Structure formats: structure tokens, C-alpha cells
């Protein structure tokens, strides 16, 4: 799910590259404007990776009895982003002007209406829609699904003064930057109940999260590190 063109076939050192990210199935430009379908997800993981079971390599793991059901259920979740009664809850139009759709948490809030989606009740609504899609996928495979909630992390807004300091350090290179909350259980969010905290989220050009195609540009990471270092120097009373 990256936005780069497929690279020419070449001999590479697999210990130094992300083979999954380099696979053609993960490099199609159309994923910049929409999520994968179920079939595309299956194609994206059938990328030459080596999987072993009981000491033997599984060559066709997408159809192997040990893996095929979980792969198919995941594929059905991808399909739920394209069709079905929950598609409008699970997706939202992109804010890049490309006319595509993405998952709601990849959009930058730009109005009061957008911010309403950050409320815990909206998170619950989205969770219920994902759970319903998962149950449909499981039922279709003749299986059962039991879900037990172990925890729920509510929205955390970071310390305004500290957030402003970090934003000011970023301003020379990026101008105004959005201040967003977290509900993902980040360490800084947990500590926010006890000490002033802030986080700096480095942008991902593809919008892909927790997948082989996820990446951040070196220059963006370096800019973030400079901003954090500048903020720490300021807090320490250094010029």
C-alpha cells in the first residue's frame, strides 16, 4: 500500500530491505486514494516471505489450512471498507483532493464537525461497526467469535502549553501544525494524568498504518527530532 512505482527486478540483500514493502502488490498508486480490497490484501502478503510450520516451509500459505481462515477473515474486513451496511461508518472521504476514501482517523480535523469524530462515543460507534464486519466474516467461514473488552483508553488531550512549545519549534519549517489528541494508549497519554506531556506525530506520506507499506521520510523524522531537541533546550533554560 505505498504510492511508489514498482521497482525493476534486482538482486537484493533481504536482511537490509523490507521485502513486503518492495513487492509490486504493495506499490500500486491506487492505494493512495482507497484501502485495499480483500483480494488485493491477499495478493499483498503473497510476496515471497518465508513461513515455516513444524520445521517445514509453507509454500502456499494463503491456502494452507493453518492460515487460510484467518487470512480470509482479514480479507473480508478489507472488503467491508468497500461494500456493506457499515461502509459509511468505516470510511470517510480523503482530505487530499484526490476523490478517494480512507479510514476516519487518517483525516486531519479542520472544523468543529470534524472534531466530533474524536469523541469517545464516536470511537464506540466505529468499534461496533468493525466488530459487526468481523462477525460477518467469521460467520461466513462457519466459525464463532467471542470478544471480551480488556480495556478502553479514552481520548487524551495533551498539555496545551507544552504542545504550543513543540508547535512553535516546528513552525519555522512547517508553519502552523494541527494539535490532535490520542486514544491509542501511548505512554505520553497515560503519563498525561500525572505530568504535562506532549507528542509529536511524524507524518506518513501514504497514510498506511501498521502495515508493510508504512513509512516516514528521513527529513520529516529529522525535523521532528530537531523540534523535540529545541523544546528540551528551551525547558532547560538554554538558548
Torsion of CA 188, 193, 194, 195, to 10 degrees: 50
Determine which of 44-48, 150-154, 199-203 has the lowest per-residue pLDDT on average: 150-154
Contacts of residue 114, Cβ cutoff 8 Å, sequence gap at least 6: 107, 108
> Residues for the chain: how many in total?
239
Read off the pLDDT band of 26 (50, 70, 90): low
Output b/e per residue, 116-138; b: 16+ Cβ within 10 A. Answer: ebbeeeebeebeebbebbbebbb
Rounded mean pLDDT, 68-76: 88
Among 135, 146, 165, 154, which Cα is nearest to 230's?
Answer: 165
Residues 6+ away with beta carbon under 8 Å from 61? 46, 51, 67, 71
The pLDDT assigned to 14 comes to: 46
Average confidence (pLDDT) over 91-100: 77
- State the average pLDDT over residues 32-42: 84
pLDDT the model gives residue 5? 39
Q: What is the mean pLDDT of residues 30-37?
A: 74
**Dist. CA 166–CA 202, nearest whole Å:** 13
Q: Looking at residue 54, what is its pLDDT?
A: 92
pLDDT of amino acid 25: 57
Measured between alpha carbons, how far apart are the two ends of the chain, in Å?
43
Q: Which residue has the higher pLDDT, 142 or 119?
A: 142
Reported as a single tens digit per residue, the pLDDT across 145-164 is: 888 877 777 788 899 999 99
Exposure of 188 in the CB half-sphere (CA atoms within 13 A):
13
Please give the residue that has the higher pLDDT: either 129 or 170. Answer: 170
User: Which pLDDT belongs to residue 1?
Assistant: 33
Which has more pLDDT, 219 or 13?
A: 219
Amino acid at each position: 500500500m505505498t504510492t511508489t512505482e514498482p521497482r525493476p527486478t534486482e538482486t537484493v540483500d533481504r536482511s537490509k530491505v523490507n521485502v513486503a514493502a518492495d513487492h509490486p502488490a504493495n506499490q500500486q498508486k491506487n492505494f493512495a486514494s482507497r484501502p485495499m480490497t480483500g483480494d488485493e490484501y491477499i495478493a499483498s502478503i503473497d510476496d515471497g516471505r518465508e513461513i515455516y510450520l513444524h520445521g517445514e516451509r509453507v509454500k502456499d500459505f494463503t491456502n494452507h489450512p493453518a492460515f487460510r481462515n484467518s487470512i480470509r477473515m482479514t480479507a473480508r474486513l478489507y472488503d467491508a471498507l468497500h461494500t456493506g451496511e457499515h461502509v459509511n461508518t468505516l470510511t470517510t472521504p480523503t482530505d487530499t483532493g484526490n476523490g478517494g476514501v480512507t479510514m476516519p482517523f487518517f483525516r486531519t480535523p479542520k472544523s468543529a464537525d470534524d472534531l466530533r469524530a474524536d469523541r469517545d462515543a464516536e470511537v464506540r460507534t466505529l468499534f461496533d461497526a468493525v466488530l459487526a464486519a468481523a462477525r460477518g466474516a467469521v460467520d461466513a467461514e462457519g466459525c464463532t467469535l467471542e470478544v471480551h473488552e480488556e480495556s478502553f483508553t479514552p481520548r487524551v488531550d495533551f498539555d496545551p502549553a507544552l504542545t504550543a512549545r513543540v508547535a512553535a519549534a516546528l513552525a519555522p519549517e512547517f508553519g502552523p501544525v494541527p494539535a490532535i489528541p490520542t486514544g491509542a494508549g501511548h505512554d505520553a497519554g497515560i503519563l498525561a494524568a500525572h505530568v504535562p506531556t506532549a507528542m509529536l506525530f511524524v507524518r506518513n506520506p501514504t497514510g498506511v498504518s501498521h502495515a508493510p507499506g508504512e513509512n516516514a521520510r528521513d527529513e520529516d523524522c529529522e525535523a521532528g527530532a530537531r523540534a523535540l531537541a529545541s523544546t528540551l533546550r528551551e525547558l532547560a533554560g538554554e538558548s
